[in-house]
Structure 1
Amino acid sequence: MRRLPVYLLLDTSGSMKGEPIESVKVGLEAMIASLRQDPFALESVYISIITFDREVKQIMPLTELETMQLPLIETPDSGPTHLGAALEMLCQKVDNEVQLSMPEKKGDWMPLLFIMTDGKPSDLQKYNQMIPEIKKRHFGSIIACAAGAKADTQPLELLTTQVYSLDTTDSATFRQFFKWVSTSVSVGNRSIGTTDELILPPPPQEVNKVI
């Protein structure tokens, strides 16, 4: 079975400390539980989580859905949002982890990328440098989420046309967002190979498309 790699880039900067990051954890647990109900996803979806604040960490390498355990996600008391550095690490991990097709063997499906931030990149120069590098990796879809009133959608719009916003960062909103992510992954898992671009399901009312 060919793998469908799914990369999650999560903002863990100081502004996410407390209820926001706890709400993200609740949402992630719900997403994993939902995906495990899908036999297609259970066979092919592999998930990686990269967190970014002052430091960038891959807290979970590509791991099969069936056996993955959600790792500890921590936030500092304060500090910058190094999304540019996170994209740089993402490129390195995709190059190392995603299996390319060879004449004698088909590789992984094009990976999916979900980005969630409640601010804007502190390392804007690095961020802008990494945008063309991300586009070279041929993701099946890049979905960016600007969470909360202080999130800036403009930098995200330079990276992808699929930008969504959340008005609040409470657990109910994040649960709905990650439930939608799980549905999107399931849809992508069924449509890969038949379409060049992932057709996303309609988002819930808590998730607003940025035009």
Structure 2
Amino acid sequence: MRDEFTQTPYWEETGTEPFIGMEFADNCEPRCACVLLLDTSGSMNGEAIAALSQGLQQFATELRQDRLAAKRVDVAVIGFGDRVDILAEFGSAQNFYPQSLKAKGGTPMGEAINLGIDLLATRQAEYRNNGITPYRPWMFLISDGAPTDKWDRAARRIREGEERKSFSFFAVGVDGADMNTLGQISVKTPLMLRGLAFSEMFRWLSSSLSSVSRSSTGQQVLLANPTGPAGWASID
């Protein structure tokens, strides 16, 4: 499977002079916002949460080492376990130094998705107000279980967002994940992680975002196949 991903702008020109805030004054590059939704529930405790934490650190390092992606990719992290927490507010990848993850509690996935969509909307407004050109944002969810809260509204908002090309949503299941429910939440077919191949998954993610950062808005970007013979995922 190969996936073409079209980057699109988010607003029409209004003729209004944008206000450039401090965050964007020294870096007016186009931005691709990426929010990571990470399952930090109790079932992830042990090897899984350790491998996820290590992969997240690797992801941050690889983005920082790519000089263009470091300026053009913005990252936010939401953890959902004992509660839904914003573990990292949106900011440039060059300043992204994630904290270690801890596993505890249930799986409030619906709340996490809704918060992620709200964060993206706020970030897009900040781009608009500062005259920053956006790529289509990414939402990337990783979970090893089933939602322990209501998720119907989150699924509806994902469908609506995908239809409007407001963002692109990816779901990845870890061993034990409820792939049927993930399939009802995600428009794209959810992928099953092979073992604990978080390093390979985050390497694919950083490489994909780097490719996006080198494209022009409106240009199609061909993503590498994550389910190939040497890939990190399978379709359950």
Q: TM-score, normalised by structure 2?
A: 0.76
Residue 210 of structure 2: aligned partner: 186
Give distance in 2, aligned partners of 1:95 and 1:47.
Answer: 14
Structure 1 stretches of 5 or more lacking a match? Answer: none
Structure 2 stretches of 5 or more lacking a match? Answer: 1-28
Residue 202 of structure 1: aligned partner: 225
Identity %: 26
Length, aligned pairs only? 202
Residue 34 of structure 1: aligned partner: 62
Deviation at 1:195, TM superposition (A): 3.4
Give distance in 2, aligned partners of 1:104 and 1:178.
Answer: 30
Deviation at 1:99, TM superposition (A): 3.0
- CA-to-partner distance for each residue in 1:29-52, whole Å, 9 max, x for gaps? 111222223222011111000000
- CA-to-partner distance for each residue in 1:69-102, whole Å, 9 max, x for gaps? 11242221xx321100101211221222223775
Q: TM-score, normalised by structure 1?
A: 0.85
Give distance in 1, aligned partners of 2:114 and 2:51.
Answer: 26
Residue 173 of structure 2: aligned partner: 146
CA RMSD of aligned residues (A): 2.3
> Within the alignment, does 1:47 sit opposite 2:75 as a pair?
yes
Which of 65, 71, 82 aligns to 2:108? It is 82
Deviation at 1:189, TM superposition (A): 2.0
- CA-to-partner distance for each residue in 1:151-183, whole Å, 9 max, x for gaps? 1222222313142111323xxx11111111111
Residue 147 of structure 2: aligned partner: 121
| 1:110 match: secondary structure | coil
